[in-house]
Amino acid sequence: MNVPVETVPMTASRKRTAPTSRFASWREHHGWSAGSSLKRLAQRPFGTLLTVAVMGLALALPLAFYLLLGNVQQLGRALGQDQTINVFLQNDQVAQQAQLLATQLRGRSDVATVTVKSPQQGLDELAKLQGFSGALDALDANPLPYVLVIAPRADLDAPGVARMSADLRDLRSVALVQDSGQWRARMDAMLGVGNRIVLVLAALLALAALLVVGNTVRMDIASRSEEISVLVLVGASGAFVRRPYLYAGIWYGLFSGVLAVLLALAIEFSLAAPITRLNAAYAGKLQLGGLPPWLLVAVPLAAAVLGWLGARLVSAWQLRRAA
């Protein structure tokens, strides 16, 4: 961030020019500051790469946890988070009674769909399971009852599903109600904890990235304190002196954000093959995904803002000391 001393008097004299000329001078100095700070970073590649790598790794960790948590949520849904309620009727219930009860349940406001599964359908499903075919051949009669497969409304919460299950258990024709409501509640609680952990982790690592940028800018300002003192003596404003360091923080943040996105995409790519095999094992029901495009675009921009903020806070404090 080498600020030529001879540019300061020229800038000071431009304060007496027309507003258009002042705006052109301001825009010119912004362009010069951005290019000069980038050139300054390129002159010390090892230190720049080290700073960018530390910040990139710090920002990539929340992305990795976000990817993991999103896929765990999808896996939980596939394994039963949104599982339907199975209502087993009494053995003396016939097809007509099962259909009548299904029609009544379809009239409930908290029910989306009701499917009637006959005893023969249940027996056929058991026959497809490994180890059951031989045992089923030894049966003299079909012992399975009619089963109503009830899908709750999509926007129904866990307490609502629990109330529905309690109502179904009170029916005289019902022998057993299988509901994974407790399992769903536990899964929701675990996912809530996971989301909170990701947010806390992202905040802590963002603070770490801010401190890394701030410390880098602080050392740069300390090494150029004599030049800064000369600029202040000849009339340069604080904003003029501080601007190249702010652009340096933006470059640090932008490059580290891009690196974090590349690392997250590399993690996603490395998990593609195992996820494909897992999805095939569940007949394509998992539908596991990657990071959303908006997040991949937002991370470098947010990192650039974070770098600017770290440079802004430290440069203001350090320049006051240097003055």
Do both 215 and 229 map to the same domain?
Answer: yes
Of the candidates 159, 179, 199, which is a domain's last residue? 179
Do both 174 and 191 map to the same domain?
Answer: no
Residue 128 falls within a domain, yes or no?
Answer: yes
Residue 129 falls within a domain, yes or no?
Answer: yes
Contact 114, 106 (CB under 8 A): yes
Query: Can you list the pairs that 195-201 forms with residues at least 24 positions away whose Cβ atoms lie under 8 Å?
Result: 195/69, 197/65, 198/62, 198/65, 198/66, 198/69, 201/61, 201/62, 201/65
Global pTM value: 0.63
Distances (CA, A) of 135 to 40, 54, 117, 120, 130: 78, 61, 21, 15, 11
- What pLDDT, on the 0 to 100 scale, is given for residue 300? 93
Residue 1 falls within a domain, yes or no?
Answer: no
The pLDDT profile of the chain, 323 residues, written as one tens digit per residue, is 444 443 444 444 444 445 667 777 777 877 887 888 888 888 888 888 988 998 899 889 888 888 887 777 777 666 554 567 888 998 888 888 889 999 999 988 888 889 898 888 877 777 666 555 555 555 666 678 889 988 888 777 777 888 888 888 888 888 888 876 666 677 777 878 888 888 888 888 888 888 888 888 778 777 776 676 676 677 666 667 778 888 888 999 899 999 999 999 998 888 878 877 877 776 666 666 778 889 889 999 999 998 888 888 887 776 666 55
Of the candidates 179, 214, 239, which is a domain's last residue? 179
Tokens 């020229």 belong to residue: 10
Distance CA 26, CA 113 (A): 66
CATH number of residue 98's parent domain: 3.30.70.3040
Residue 224 falls within a domain, yes or no?
Answer: yes
Residue 61 falls within a domain, yes or no?
Answer: yes
Do both 74 and 161 map to the same domain?
Answer: no
- What pLDDT, on the 0 to 100 scale, is given for residue 72? 74
Residue 2 falls within a domain, yes or no?
Answer: no
- Helix, strand, coil percentages for the chain (3-state, nearest 5): 70, 5, 20
Do both 220 and 295 map to the same domain?
Answer: yes
Do both 257 and 232 map to the same domain?
Answer: yes
- What pLDDT, on the 0 to 100 scale, is given for residue 259? 94
Do both 63 and 201 map to the same domain?
Answer: yes
Query: Range of 134's domain?
Result: 84-179
Do both 74 and 119 map to the same domain?
Answer: no
Distance CA 115, CA 66 (A): 36
Query: 199-237 b/e with 16+ CB inside 10 Å = b?
Result: eebbeebbeebbebbbebbbebbeebeebbeebbeeebe
Do both 281 and 304 map to the same domain?
Answer: yes
Residue 88 falls within a domain, yes or no?
Answer: yes
Distance CA 243, CA 153 (A): 56
Do both 157 and 295 map to the same domain?
Answer: no
How many structural domains are present in the chain?
2
Distance CA 311, CA 317 (A): 10
Do both 313 and 199 map to the same domain?
Answer: yes
3 state DSSP class of 276: helix
Radius of gyration from C-alpha coordinates of the chain: 32
Do both 160 and 227 map to the same domain?
Answer: no
Of the candidates 157, 179, 201, which is a domain's last residue? 179
- What pLDDT, on the 0 to 100 scale, is given for residue 258? 94
Backbone dihedral angles phi then psi of residue 141, each to the nearest 5 degrees: -145, 165
Do both 237 and 305 map to the same domain?
Answer: yes
